[in-house]
Structure 1
């Protein structure tokens, strides 16, 4: 458990790393529970030039705990630097009507595949949500960066929208799970390029069977 100060410092370091490896004018989407919006804003003010908008991800069902059951998640849209940013919707001028309330089913929704999603990662994000966000602020063929890979939804969304995903994940078990998920989606096999370690598909599959809880997933 981190204190509020420690968490703000951690976020500041993560945001600085994201910004250092992003184009001037890039938009970063940071997902977070409302309880930590203070730390997000504190860290974001130091790194980013502007908070472009605060998005509410409205889910079908409320989660457990809190004074009221929480049926939403906050998504902070920060801008890197002062360069021009991409706006692919422009108030519906390009046929895409987008508001700052995004309605997508969460993992608390009773639906086919819910158990598999929860087993895959405790904070799995809908691929459709990420794909729409990617299309809002980037062009086909460009790079999408995610330093908290989690379940690999960003990689799948980038693949579906014609972008290239650069994804990091601390836990090797989740790294293997991301690879397995992408292989199943793309009907292809990942290639281990260079890391000094031998790895096989069998090894990855065995490690990906179980995964411990990890901090909430963020994506950019």
Structure 2
């Protein structure tokens, strides 16, 4: 692996698989150490890791980072167009911590005078709360979606065409789309099945290609139809004998209906 990227209104979202901050400080440090450590173990010597973290928890990340990584290369700031919601100062930025795995040389594609790419540690990209035609679509995919261009530029900074990029928190699949755009190979992990479907549908919509299940060679829509059928109740069942997993079936149908609407946009 050559590097990895970890990142109120009318759009409502399901709860995150790991909730939204209920871990204690010690538990969160352990969580970060284990997840980032698993990623670092699969990186080549000299790989660069970008880790997005809210300022409230930068202490926990730095504690985990000192255990997992060999060096902190920099701290980048995503400077958004507009400030978000907040009480004591509206937040207009996100932090991107830049770590290095091992002691080997890392790729630097923007060295002074080499390629003409001018890169600083302040990244100016519009935030998702900026007004735009795709705002609601982006928010519907995931509550913390990052701009594709932001991730694509970061990938270009420290990898070469054909390199592998790992994202251990796949989310809405932005890393996959960004890697596709800049000629890298992406490997994503995502714990929540709903977001796994979101990632696949987004990739199919952007590329026009068909995703297949590696173990069987089936297309995504074939697997979807097959698995939905497993939840369908028997027609001759008495209404009082509705299977216990019918509620699960309804959840799946609701999820598919939602992602179908998003894919059609």
Are 2:214 and 1:193 equivalent residues in the alignment?
yes
CA 1:92–1:39: 2 relative to 1, 3 Å:
farther
- Among candidates 77, 94, 100, match of residue 73 of structure 1: 94
What CA deviation, in whole Å up to 9, does each residue of 1:74-118 have, x standing for no partner? 000000011110000013431100000000111111111100101
Q: How far apart are residue 208 of structure 1 and its match?
A: 4.7
Larger Rg: 2
TM-score by length of 1: 0.90
Cα separation, 2, equivalents of 1:101 and 1:7: 27
Q: How far apart are residue 65 of structure 1 and its match?
A: 1.6
User: Where do residues 168-179 of structure 1 align in structure 2 (5 Å cutoff)?
Assistant: 168-179=189-200
Aligned residue number for residue 61 of structure 2: 40
TM-score by length of 2: 0.75
Cα separation, 2, equivalents of 1:63 and 1:86: 34
User: Where do residues 153-164 of structure 1 align in structure 2 (5 Å cutoff)?
Assistant: 153-164=174-185
Give 3-state SS (helix, strand or coil) of 2:112's partner.
Answer: helix
Give 3-state SS (helix, strand or coil) of 2:97's partner.
Answer: strand
Runs of 4+ deviating beyond 3 Å = 204-211
Give 3-state SS (helix, strand or coil) of 2:76's partner.
Answer: strand
Q: How far apart are residue 66 of structure 1 and its match?
A: 4.1
Are 2:81 and 1:60 equivalent residues in the alignment?
yes
Gaps of 5+ in 1: 212-220
Q: Give RMSD over aligned pairs.
A: 1.9
Cα separation, 1, equivalents of 2:34 and 2:25: 14
